[in-house]
């Protein structure tokens, strides 16, 4: 959950959900042992198959849960790099388990399990390092470097049968939030907006690149079939941001424009979206 940057992963209910299978399995094992110990261990204190069920059940539940969650996230991703990241972390524990099974069944005298763990941990380290390089450390969104890599790929800007819309977004009265409540509260506002972006985009089947452009500005590169999809996403983002509980009203301004054909430059489209952002700031009725 930490690697996948799941919002609200530190909530008590989510933490409890993670350890719930372990708690249930432990209680069941204790009760089973008190009621019928002979089905778990024999007179020589050797474990029986019934004991192995408890040992294997919890890891199997975790492996299945990880696979289900990450495969679902990967199916929603259009970016091949992001899709690969989800699948890598999803199949990580399964690959480790396969290494252990191969060693136990076929090569009990070779350290295949240890070698598998070492190789996968090295790959995991490389993936995590790449994430740190490409992600904004405060919000967890893509940073400017990742944006530049994304827009440098022609296929990302001109997907087949889809349009390309660039939306620029910033926080209203952000300087006032910093000056009045401190920079720590300003950081919380940035994180709240970033979480709103993640939540809304994850709820839509709309290929989207989301990044922090700089300061309190965010950028979305969306690939809809119809412009109404973009308007629906922006409307939900505004509503989601307004739900943030703070001693001030948190809101955002948004401007967007379409990349029109092969001759249009993405940097020009970003500039047009930025101008529309400031037009949106001058129309407070748009935030209601």
Q: Where are the beta strands (DSSP E) in the chain?
A: 165-171, 208-214, 217-222, 252-258
Does the pTM of the predicted model rise above 0.85? no
Query: Is the same domain home to 176 and 130?
Result: no
Distance between CA atoms of residues 258 and 272, nearest Å: 9
Q: DSSP secondary-structure letter at 135?
A: B
Task: For the chain, report the end-to-end CA distance as a whole number of angstroms.
Answer: 35
> What b/e sequence results for 156-184 when a residue is b if at least 16 CB atoms lie within 10 Å of its CB, and e otherwise?
bbeeeebbbbbbbbbbbbbeebbeeeeee
Q: Taking the CA of residue 254 as centre, how many other CA atoms within 13 Å lie in the half-sphere pointing to its CB?
A: 25
68-77, 125-134, 275-284: least confidently modelled range: 125-134
What is the phi/psi pair of residue 56, to 5°? -90, -20
- Where is the domain boundary, 114, 134, 154? 134
Of 159 and 270, the one with more pLDDT:
270
Q: pLDDT at position 126, please?
A: 77
Query: Is the same domain home to 148 and 283?
Result: yes
Q: pLDDT at position 131, please?
A: 66
Query: Is the same domain home to 118 and 152?
Result: no
Of 281 and 210, the one with more pLDDT:
210
Residue found under tokens 């530049």: 148
- Where is the domain boundary, 78, 102, 134? 134
* 253 bridge partner residues: 170
Check which CATH number belongs to the domain holding 258 and give it. 3.30.70.270
Query: Is the same domain home to 158 and 276?
Result: yes
Say how far residue 167 (Cα) sits from the centre of its chain: 20
Q: pLDDT at position 87, please?
A: 84
Give the structural domain span for 262. Answer: 144-287
Q: Quote the number of domains for the chain.
A: 2
């Amino acid at each position: 959950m930490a690697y996948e940057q799941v919002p609200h992963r530190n909530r008590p209910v989510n933490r409890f959900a993670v350890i719930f299978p372990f708690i249930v399995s432990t209680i069941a094992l204790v009760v089973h042992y008190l009621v019928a110990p002979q089905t778990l261990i024999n007179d020589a204190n050797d474990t029986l198959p019934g004991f192995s069920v408890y040992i294997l059940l919890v890891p199997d539940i975790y492996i299945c849960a990880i696979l289900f969650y990450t495969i679902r996230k990967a199916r929603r991703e259009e970016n091949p790099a992001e899709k690969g990241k989800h699948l890598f972390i999803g199949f990580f524990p399964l690959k480790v388990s396969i290494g252990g099974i191969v060693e136990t069944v076929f090569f009990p005298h070779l350290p295949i399990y240890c070698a598998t763990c070492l190789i996968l941990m090295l790959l995991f380290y490389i993936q995590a390092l790449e994430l740190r390089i490409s992600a904004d450390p405060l919000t967890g969104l893509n940073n400017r470097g990742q944006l530049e890599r994304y827009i440098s790929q022609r296929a990302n800007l001109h997907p087949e049968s889809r349009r390309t819309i660039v939306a620029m977004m910033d926080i209203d009265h952000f300087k006032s939030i910093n000056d009045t409540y401190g920079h720590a509260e300003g950081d919380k506002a940035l994180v709240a907006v970033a979480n709103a972006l993640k939540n809304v985009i994850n709820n839509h089947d709309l290929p989207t690149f989301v990044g922090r452009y700089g300061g309190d500005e965010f950028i979305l590169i969306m690939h809809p079939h119809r412009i109404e999809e973009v308007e629906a996403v922006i409307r939900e983002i505004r509503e989601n941001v307004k739900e943030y509980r703070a001693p001030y009203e948190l809101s955002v301004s948004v401007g967007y424009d379409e990349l029109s054909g092969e001759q249009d430059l993405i940097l020009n489209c970003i500039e047009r979206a930025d101008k529309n952002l400031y037009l949106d700031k001058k129309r407070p009725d748009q935030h209601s």
